[in-house]
Structure 1
Amino acid sequence: MSVLRLPVGLCREIESILAQFWWSKSIGRGWRLSEFPNSLIARMLKARYFPNSDFLAASSGLLPSFTWQSLLWGRDLLRLGLRWLIGDGRLVNIYGDPWVPYDRFFTIQSVPALPSTSRVCDLITVSGLWDVGKISDTFSFSEAEAILSIPLMGDTLDWRIWNFAKNGRYSVKSGYWVALEYKRLEELSDGSVAGPSSHSLKSWKHLWKLKVPQKILYLLWRLVQSIHHSKEVLFRSRITQEDVCCHCLVSRETTIHSLVGCVVCMQSLFAFTVWVLWNERNRVLFGSQPTLPGILVQHAKDYDDDFKQSSVVNRSLSSPVRDVKWKSPTDSGFKLNVDGGDCMETGAKGVGAIVRDSQGNLVRALAMRVPSQISVLAMELYALKIRISFALDASLVPLEIESNSLLAVSMVNSEEECLATEGGLLEGV
């Protein structure tokens, strides 16, 4: 076998091509079939392989081509991140279809309480809003919160989006990340059921030698064995009616969440504990006597309490906010200022708008509440949409619009169609 030495420039060019393939925003071929079903290649493949279904439900068929087999191979990855974005809800089944905006699972997990043929539109009222009472009575708390966080788009069709990209579009980079993440989870799952290795046996010996009470050893053993009865486990076993954390009332109570992920439980205590442990390590390193673990824990709690008390006292001494003055519109017209906000205590959200003329005189103002479960970006876009309609109905033209949300303004000014969760709110803006 002969060996050829390639020039350094050629090697770098090959590396550049590979890097552009993996990390550019190029989209996959399978995604193109889903996003552009009327393209020539999509219509050819549909006529040949799936005349009565879509790409996601198609089979390999008789004597499939290499191209079709390659597309089917990548389709499994595409399925991991595709979910429905709700428009009018007529195309999406409540049970079975992926449409709930979770981190990984997009289907309803609770026991079906509605007919299996129910559509998402059955959860929407005649006025185009979520039926809060029906949703709260039908689904678990976490599922109801996730559903109510979906901004309704009005009389538009449902469409599929890629959950793991901000713009809702699949890219090679995001697909590569998802593939690695699921591979890691599969390896963890395989490791939990595999037989004990020499490394795991050594870990067990160290575990049982810990100088802690037996009840703590028993808890650690249950955690390592993955038999800790978190609310997520109890919910999947149909023992409890919900899987939401009883402290933060937001996330699922998994084992990791209950121990280190709950913001309400941990807050800043974890940071103070790390600081105390590092400080203790330095003290012992330079000759001081070790401190008992219980005293270290108490030190961390004391630091946390002292900091919270001082923060409350010094809240009024915070630095002054920069004075931002209103600027009149460039033309002799009107300026519309919009913004959204929420209440930290009650969780209520609302949007407001004010219209002034070129002299700064108040022309009109409006404020209203919005669903508290929607995202901040959805709230800003919702404010823009409602307020623009509000100003145009009053014939306030020419109109200059100002918002403090850079992302919302960029989405409105972008010429590219937005497939993100909040993209439907751009219709009519």
Structure 2
Amino acid sequence: MAIKLDMSKAYDRVEWDYLREVMSRMGFHSHWIDLVMHCVTTVCYNVIHDGHVIGPIHPTRGIRQGDPLSTYLFIICADGLSTLIQQYEANRIIHGCRVARGAPPITHMLFADDSYLFCQATNGAAEGVMSLLHSFEQASGQQVNVAKSSVFFSPNIDNQSRTLICSTLQMSQADEGSLYLGLPNIIGRNKSAIFGFLKNKVMARMNTWEGKFLSRAGKEILLKTVIQSLPTYAMSVFLIPIGICEEIEKLMASFWWKTSSSKGNGIIWMSWNRLGASKDDGGMGFRHLHDFNLAMLAKQGCRMLCNHDTLVSRIFKAKYFPHSDFLLAKLGNNPRFVWRSIWGAQHLVKKGAIRTIGNGASTNILTHPWLPSTENKYVSSTHPGLISNTVSSLFFMDPRTWDVDIIRDLFPTQEANIILGLPLSPHASDDCWSWSNDSKGCFTVKSAYNLLQDDKHLHSGPNNSGFWRKLWQLKIPPKVKNFLWRASNDCLPTCLNLVIKHVNIDSRCPVCKLYTETVVHALISCPFAHSYWTKLGPRYVPDVLSSFGSWLDKLFRTLKDDQVSYVAMVCWALWNARNNTVWKDKSSTVSAVLMSAKTTLDHWKKAQDNICLSSIFFDNKGDGAELWTKPDNNHIKINVDAALFPQEHSYGYGIVARDSTGHLIEAKTGYFEGNLDASTVEALSIKEALSWIKSKNWQNVEIESDSMISVQGIRGNQVINSLSGLILHDCQILLSSLPSVSLRFIRRSANRVAHVVARYSRFLSGRSIFEYNVWSDCESLLYSKYL
């Protein structure tokens, strides 16, 4: 049975002598204890009643709620209860519960003043619990609120025993609606009814925003930061019914599209699936809640896969997969809903989890995912010589290199190339699990969610040239960006679009009253708008116009950023002028539109100048340079870069060494077959540069790379459980043996020569390049600018 305890006035009842004694038993220094107790015992209160001050009132026990120190002090007090429970268990007065054979016994779970006790469902155990609680109450001053406490029984306990135990404990049996930490304790058959409170919370929060004048940019922030976060806690434990997720998404869509003047739900101009696409793909980046739910549950699965020693992992492993790992676990017969939920995300963990090869001793060749391939991480070869063997049997140990002959014999050509393109670290020890969709190898909910979205291929609108990315990067007010997004997706309430949505109005333009009003007509080809664009010049007037998005995309490619920003503001002002004509019967002039656009943009930019914006923090002097500069006298500067060739399933790197005069000393390339991610290849290029410097015995060398992740990883001391992490660790070891070598981060614009050399690596693999044999394109770039 499980006993849910509720402490009455938990913070206010803490005895000061008990708190001091517990801290003393835990080993805190007496001086530190005196300081803490001085903070606790010197408090006093004053009460204002009928305008008169009553006090001061000096309490004799309790800790103040809201004080930052109080939470930690109460945890210390709760440790006394935990120690007492362990003592009762050691004396065999109570016994913990095991969920399965081989599982650790559980006696209690504590979270602040919410506690759970687990023991056998016998009257003797109930009497032991009462004795335990009485002892704790006497010592600490705490008091169990039996009216709010309850008892949970397993289904095989008969009613007579339940009644007797509840009578002994003076508590009632828990009902299906009971909660612990905001989540339901008992999950019945009707999941939609149980989790309906999530929808109610969303509705209640949205109702508080009714009547407020919010732009769509403001609504976007509220939906992403508030509404989407409300079900997050429940989603990390349970698989929420798809129906509940869809109902919440409908509420979000209605709130998003509804205007302040509309009485109903507003017109839905775009489906939620399209809104849920990333901003780079033409959507708004809202979450698909079911996919986000799976990503949250996949986090629990990854913890069970990687952290075997945690209490949760030990319990679930003993119950559901005692002889395998999480990736091979089965659902089982009559599983609990929590396990069913976590197991539902197993397919996602399988897609992203991969073994990082260290010494290869614990990775099975056939049953573990270890190939760095986006198509299949498992070996497809069925050669009998691979059965039960580990990856360590495929390479030599000293030095650690692949056994090319064995790999060519046992694997198909494509798999053999992938394996041989996998770098081996001479310093790595044990193999480990990592997450293939994160540069640091760590599981993140964001990367898991993106993995699900990549499978759906959610794309809408023009995306070949980075159109949407350019749109969202414009330095204009957020509401104007949102306006451009709606215009590019043909989601503006023009007369024609309203007629399509069955609104009974005239489809002609309300400004010129001549032509059908589309987005293109309202913002570009209407005589009123066209007169303005004509004044700006012919490049603003399109020859053939298919859509507003195509016109804007052309401007992105031909105009400067500040010019495009001004065009965006003019479009916004034209739309406002059109709305004034419709709703206020107020006509505007071209000069008024221009003045409105310029004034709005100027005011917004001035407001941004008054905001202290944080920039990227660079660790070392010289980081973030945008132009290449000559090194100091008697110094050598080496630039490195990597290149990926996805079509050929290969990668390469380029290394360029120059002296203090800016002349080329030597350049080096490398080209390999394999499917490695960008961060791994960037780390590998730095490692090759360090090894090259060591072999040349060069002194006073400056290495520059445009990979911030790699530079920060080498400088930091964080353990990164991925292939790139192993290579970065090798770089740290090499760099420590080269005291006169420094490493810094530069912008891509300052690394153009190394970039070109890396792109040519597939034609010049393994070649050394000097001034006499450098090709013309590289030579012109090499000596075009030093500063």
Q: How high is the TM-score relative to the length of structure 2?
A: 0.30
Alpha-carbon contact 1:353-1:367 (below 8 Å) kept: yes
SS of residue paired to 2:422:
coil
The correspondence for 2:725, drawn from 384, 401, 423, is 423
Write the distance in 1 (CA, Å) between the matches of 2:710 and 2:329: 37
- Is it true that 1:17 corresponds to 2:17 in the alignment? no
Total equivalences in the alignment: 285
Question: Secondary structure at 1:17's aligned position in 2?
Answer: coil
Measured on the aligned residues, the alpha-carbon RMSD in Å equals 4.8
How far did 1:404 drift?
A: 3.5
Select 1:31's aligned residue among 285, 298, 302: 302
The separation in 2 between residues aligned to 1:179 and 1:410, in whole angstroms, is 29
Structure 2 equivalent of residue 175 of structure 1: 448
Residue 161 in 1 paired to residue 434 in 2?
A: yes
1:120 matched residue in structure 2: 391
What is the aligned partner in structure 1 of residue 379 from structure 2? 108
Amino acid at match of 2:630: K
C-alpha change, 1:348 and 1:384, in structure 2 (3 Å) is closer
Give the match's secondary structure for 1:6.
helix
Instruction: Check 1:394–1:17 CA distance in 2 against 1; reply closer, same or farther (3 A cut).
Output: farther
SS at structure 1 position matched to 2:401: coil
How much identity, in percent, do the aligned residues show? Answer: 23
1:70, CA displacement in angstroms? 3.0
Aligned-partner Cα distance in 1 for 2:206–2:706: 49
Instruction: Give the drift of 1:170.
Output: 3.3
Matched, 1:136 2:437: no
User: 2:299 touches 2:444 (CA, 8 Å); kept in 1?
Assistant: yes
Aligned-pair distance for 1:392?
Answer: 7.3
Contact 1:148 1:374 in 2 (8 A): no
Amino acid paired to 2:414: S
Distance in 2, Cα, partners of 1:374 & 1:412: 23
1:339 paired residue number: 640
> Which blocks of at least 5 consecutive residues in structure 1 are unaligned?
185-281, 283-322
Note closer, same or farther for the CA distance 1:361–1:324 as it changes in structure 2 (3 Å cut).
Answer: closer
Q: Is the 8 A contact 2:354 2:434 kept in 1?
A: yes
The answer as to 2:360 corresponding to 1:89 is yes
CA distance in 2, matches of 1:73, 1:400: 50
CA contact (8 A) 2:301 2:349 kept: yes
In the TM superposition, residue 112 of structure 1 has moved relative to its aligned partner by: 1.7
Aligned to 1:427, the other structure's residue is in SS state helix
Q: Structure 2 vs 1, CA of residues 40 and 336 (structure 1 numbering), >3 Å: closer, same or farther?
A: farther
Alignment of 1:23-102 (within 5 A): 28-46=299-317, 50=321, 53-58=324-329, 65-102=336-373
Q: In the alignment, which residue of structure 2 is the partner of 1:215?
A: none
Does the 8 Å CA contact 1:95/1:112 hold for their aligned counterparts? no
Higher CA-based Rg: 2
Would you say the 8 A contact 1:334–1:396 is kept in 2? no
In structure 2, relative to structure 1, the CA distance for the partners of 1:30 and 1:378 (3 Å cut) is closer
Change (3 A) 1:60 1:348: closer
Show CA shifts across 1:199-236 (max 9, x none).
xxxxxxxxxxxxxxxxxxxxxxxxxxxxxxxxxxxxxx
- The separation in 2 between residues aligned to 1:361 and 1:180, in whole angstroms, is 47
Q: Which deviates further from its counterpart, 159-168 or 91-100?
A: 159-168
**What residue identity is the alignment partner of 1:17?**
L
DSSP 3-state at the match of 1:95? coil
1:276-320 Cα offsets, whole Å, 9 max, x none, are xxxxxx9xxxxxxxxxxxxxxxxxxxxxxxxxxxxxxxxxxxxxx
Query: Deviation digits for residues 176-215 of structure 1, max 9, x if unmatched?
Result: 455567789xxxxxxxxxxxxxxxxxxxxxxxxxxxxxxx
8 Å Cα contact 2:642-2:653 kept in structure 1: yes
Shift of 1:337: 1.7
Indicate whether 1:151 and 2:423 are aligned.
Answer: yes
For residue 55 of structure 1, report the CA deviation from its aligned partner: 3.2
Instruction: Give deviations 1:13-50, integer Å, cap 9, x for gaps.
Output: 33453568866997711112223334443345446655
> Does the Cα contact within 8 Å between 2:638 and 2:658 map onto a contact in 1?
yes
1:177–1:328 Cα change, 3 Å: closer
Contact 1:340-1:380 within 8 A present in 2 as well: yes
Q: 1:60 to 1:426 in 2, by over 3 A?
A: same
- Which residue identity is paired with 1:402? E
CA contact (8 A) 1:338 1:384 kept: no
Q: Which runs of 5+ in 2 are unaligned?
A: 1-198, 210-222, 232-285, 458-545, 547-625, 732-787
Going from structure 1 to structure 2, the CA distance change for 1:394 and 1:134 (only over 3 Å counts) comes to closer
- State the partner residue of 1:312: none
Q: Deviations over 1:218-263 (max 9, x none)?
A: xxxxxxxxxxxxxxxxxxxxxxxxxxxxxxxxxxxxxxxxxxxxxx
Amino acid across the alignment from 2:629: W
Q: From the superposition, tell whether residues 67 and 414 of structure 1 become closer, same or farther in structure 2 (CA, over 3 Å).
A: farther
Tell me the distance in 2 between the aligned counterparts of 1:66 and 1:124.
44
Query: 8 Å contact 2:435–2:441 — kept in the other structure?
Result: yes
Which residue number corresponds to residue 511 of structure 2? none
Shift in alpha-carbon separation, 1:43–1:396, aligned structure 2, 3 A: farther
What corresponds to 2:584 in structure 1?
none
Note the C-alpha offset of 1:169.
3.4
What SS is found at the alignment partner of 2:204? coil
Q: Greater relative contact order: 1 or 2 (C-alpha under 8 angstroms, separation 6 or more)?
A: 1
Give, in whole Å, the separation in 1 of the partners of 2:316 and 2:443. 20
CA contact (8 A) 2:651 2:681 kept: no
Aligned partners of 2:453 and 2:680: how far apart in 1? 30
Aligned-pair CA distance for 1:107: 1.8
The one of 385, 388, 392 aligned to 2:687? 385
What's the offset of the Cα at 1:51?
5.4
1:397 Cα deviation from its structure 2 partner: 7.9
